[in-house]
Structure formats: C-alpha cells, structure tokens
Amino acid sequence: MKKLTKQIVIDYHDFMVEKFGVRLIFRKDDIPPDVFDVFPSLNQFCADTFLDHYAITIPNPFGKTLIYLPWIAGSSTRVSLYDQVRRLAHECEHAVQIRHDGDTHFAASYLGNPALRANYEALAMHAELDIYFWYYGKPAAALFLSSMAKNLKAYRCGADDIAVTEKHLVAYNKIVARGSVSSEAGKAAIKWLDMRV
C-alpha cells in the first residue's frame, strides 16, 4: 500500500485541476445559475443529500468544467486521502468525456438518460480501478467491483444498468490486472503520483 500525505494530496488536487482545466467547487451555491438555466435536469442531482456524499462533474458552457467535491483537499475527516485521490481521478475522467463530447451532448446524455449515464460512470470508474491497482499493488476484488456498480443506484440508474456496469468493470479489471493503465485521468494521476509517493 502506498503512503499518502496531506501535502501530497493537496498538491495532487492542484495538479489535476491544472492538467484537466477544471475548477473545483465545494458548495452547491457556487454552481453558476446560468448552468442550471441551460441544464435544468442538473437539479435532480442537487436535491436531497446527494451532494453531501457524492462528487459530481458539471459541464459548463460559460467557463471551465466544474467539479463539485464533498471534501476539502488533504483533510481526511470525512473522506480518506486515498479516496480523495481515487475519486478526483474519476471526476477528471468525466472532464475528459465532456471535452470529447461537448457540454450539451454530455449533459443531454448524462443527465437525461440513465443507461448512458451508467456508461459514462463505468468509463470514469476505469480511472478508479487504475488508481486502486497503483495504490494496493493488486486489482480490486469482485465484491468491490460489485459495490462500485451498485453505487449507481444513488445516480438513479436501474438494476439493468447496474448489471451491465458490473460486467463492464469486471472486463476492464482484467486489463488492469495485467498492469495496463488505460484511462486518461488514471494515466496522468499515476505518472504524477509515482514521482512523489
């Protein structure tokens, strides 16, 4: 297992923000109203307690892609340092998806369609599995993959989407087990972390 420090995790957030051209936000109120105007279905993820527990990457046609985090970088009172590293890589992979697909296409697909949302999530989870292997030196176990897929229930995905996602993760994890890092965010993160951890 790798040894992360508070300062490394703070610096890692700075690096990922710069590398993926995103802006971090920590309060729902920091999401510009214009973004809600163009993507009203974003509201479904800002209701209840979703934002207390989950990070979310928000397409922003008016500026940098936004990443909302329910933790303060380097402060491990709510989320462990390792989980911060893993989960920020996941969100940065969403930023890559937004760059490839465009704000409006991503928003329509991700916010509007549970099956497409599950697919975006499964691809972002690649980065998490890459980080997992880097951190633990072994691929994630089947039970962990299953629990990752089941998390999508909180994202309003159905049982079918969750089952497909689990199969997807099992397949990707076989590639990870061979020591290959394929996600863009995972690659950047691991390259940076390897020089410091």
Residues that bind Zn ion in the complex, under the rule CB under 5 A = 121, 124
- Is 102 in contact with 96 (CB distance < 8 Å)? no
Least distance in angstroms from the C-beta of 151 to Zn ion? 9
What is the H or E stretch that residue 24 is in?
Answer: strand 22-25
Q: Name which of 15 and 121 has its Cβ closer to Zn ion.
A: 121
State the minimum distance, in angstroms, from the CB of residue 68 to Zn ion: 11
Toward Zn ion, which CB reaches closer, 8 or 118? Answer: 118
Buried/exposed code over 107-141 (b: 16+ C-beta within 10 A; e: otherwise): bbbbbeebebbbbbbbbbbbbbbbbbbbbeeebbe
* Min separation Cβ 128 and Zn ion, Å: 9
Q: Which CB atom, from 112 or from 194, has the smaller least distance to Zn ion?
A: 112
How many whole angstroms separate alpha carbon 8 and alpha carbon 82?
Answer: 11
Nearer CB in complex with Zn ion: 119/173: 119
Task: State the Cα–Cα distance between residues 3 and 87, nearest whole angstrom.
Answer: 17
* Closest residue to bound Zn ion by CB: 124
**Listed residue (116, 127, 124) closest to 161, CA to CA:** 116
Least distance from Zn ion to the Cβ atom of residue 57, Å: 7
Judged by DSSP in three states, 156 sits in: coil
- Judged by beta carbon, residue 187 or residue 197, the one nearer Zn ion is 187
Instruction: Please state the closest distance from residue 5 (CB atom) to Zn ion, in A.
Output: 26
Burial (CB < 10 A; 0-12, 13-18, 19+), residue 180, is exposed
